[in-house]
Chains A and B, each alone.
Chain A
């Protein structure tokens, strides 16, 4: 069981809602994935419309909505967007995304830290999307972030864990859940993140643009479970050489 800010999750696979060909395929894929936390871009939903198509397809009792602030460039805009999302969607959870760079959507560490401080003061459960920067993760934890969401590689790139070395440090040091977000392209990437001890992963593009999003959602579900199971089992250490026999010390066994 994973706990973030007093909410427990059975599934450690978080999902996104962008890029699906239809809302129905989104709904089916998310159901197959077993995901209980689903990000929704404020820019895509009509918060004034109670019957918004996307929200209607996410009304499953298992699913918790995680509004994101994708599109903002500053802390000030992020705070404003989070307040609006809280009011409109009835949740104080927010995935904080501040990326002034519209091409690679690289998160701004300075604005993110400042917005986290402000939002925590206002009672938000803040899950910031950030670069895989160990020091920033500690600073965000100190500021009251409920989890940290470092990237595996650039959003939508499907490149996997290019930041592996830094993710390991973040996981080792963190006192809040670490959710590897962005860049996971195939189930084995998700399994790898879970094997190194990530608490959860967030996947969107890889499921949404798959030939069969439903089956891919299921595949990621299984990979996350397998990766977590392996982590919990305690893996054998990796060695550069075979340890099958001990030619130099074998004589001792005769004692």
Chain B
């Protein structure tokens, strides 16, 4: 089997773009009518030609999601451990050239956050840092996971890409899943947005899910940052990546996120805007391609949007998020990675889910299921 780098090179953006422009209404209808769908069908469903079919897509997406996940919504919270970062990313509040106060949490500060998050009811925690190998390298992460793990059912991580042996170390400490977004699959654009730091290595990032699969991780989250390039093309690459990974690392579970660029201190305007209708189209297209994949929605999105999109295919969402290190215990400071949009408390979100006939699921994992002494 080809590696994903080869696969990606066979589909230059112009080619995908052209294919998208040539999708006909008849082709969309065909994709919609199928029982199982392939990447070509996904492409048809994210094309502009599919826009008039949004309601039909939403109905099918809802039906498939209910069948596979039931009326359940998994809840999680991010725990920002550090905003130190050696990278320059043109769209991120943690970027090295962004002159904000930097902070990395101490053990005591981490435990304060843990206490607040536990009090809110969370059992699934996502630890987040910038990329600063000297301060928040694998030793720091391992220590943090060991510190946090006894207090939660499930620990995930969204940090810099690591080597396979480093992932193996963290999995042994109880790490359950890793989220690593490619930001954009356009090689040339990627270079422009990541001019400095380890993150500028496109291929090392692209192959991170491979290293995770080889390390035996339980779950990998992938995605593209919406706003850097044509979202339809980047989403096609994400779907292609998903299919590649599912076949190759078949014991790993996958999740997809679709973060839209949010304002942050010192940030730039997105190159490509995606409206709410288009995001719904994308969510439904992912669900129609893959009835089993987890689809995750963050607090970047507005209350109004989140209230309505719950029923369309999403299976996990964050709630009450703070995106600055120490944010839960200390309150709002100006160290955030990006501004959140839905500021409602986890309790309120749980109430909203219940009012829509959904069960908020705080715990869907148990450390006993992950024998870390293998």
Contacts and interface: CB of A to CB of B under 8 A. Distances in A.
Interface string B217-238: 0110000000000000000000
Interface string B354-373: 10011101011110111100
Contacts of A85: 368
A80 B366 contact: no
Contacts of A46: 123, 153, 363
B70 A77 contact: no
Contacts of A76: 371, 374
Contacts of B357: 21-22
B364 A43 contact: yes
B72 interface: yes
A23 B366 contact: no
Report the contact-size class of chain B (Cβ under 8 Å from the partner).
20 to 34
B251 A73 contact: yes
A156 interface: yes
Interface string B64-83: 00111111100000000000
Most buried by A among B251, B368, B374: B368
Nearest to A18: B70
A158 B116 CA distance: 42
B60 interface: no
A233 B374 CA distance: 52
Nearest to B367: A84
Interface string B4-33: 000000000000000000000000000000
B70 A208 contact: yes
Contacts of B365: 43, 71
B22 to A, nearest CB: 31
A151 B368 CA distance: 25
A19 B70 contact: yes
A20 B366 CA distance: 20
A209 B70 contact: yes
B67 A158 contact: yes
A103 B358 contact: no
A20 B370 CA distance: 25
Contact of B71 (A19, A45, A100, A156): A19
Contacts of B368: 42, 80-81, 84-85
A22 B69 contact: no
B371 A77 contact: yes
Contacts of B363: 43-46
Contacts of A72: 369, 371
B371 A156 contact: no
Nearest to A87: B368
Contacts of B69: 19
Contacts of B246: 103
Contacts of B71: 19-21, 208-209
Contacts of B250: 100-101, 103
A64 interface: no
Contact residues of A: prevailing secondary structure: loop
Nearest to A73: B251
Given A101-B251, A158-B67, A205-B67, A19 B369 contact: no
A69 interface: yes
A178 B70 CA distance: 27
A114 interface: no
Contacts of A81: 366, 368-369
Contacts of A80: 368, 371
A163 to B, nearest CB: 19
A46 B250 CA distance: 28
A11 B80 CA distance: 51
Contact of B366 (A21, A47, A205): A47
Given A102-B253, A158-B67, A71 B359 contact: no
A233 to B, nearest CB: 34
Contacts of B219: 102
B370 to A, nearest CB: 7
A77 B252 contact: no
Nearest to A77: B371
Interface string B46-76: 0000000000000000000011111110000
A156 B366 contact: no
Nearest to A106: B250
B292 interface: yes
Contacts of A22: 354, 357, 359
Interface in A1-50: 18-23, 42-47
| Nearest 9 A/B pairs, CB to CB | A19-B70, A21-B71, A102-B253, A71-B369, A84-B368, A77-B371, A100-B251, A21-B357, A103-B292
9 contacts: A19-B69, A21-B359, A22-B359, A43-B366, A46-B123, A69-B369, A102-B218, A103-B253, A156-B68
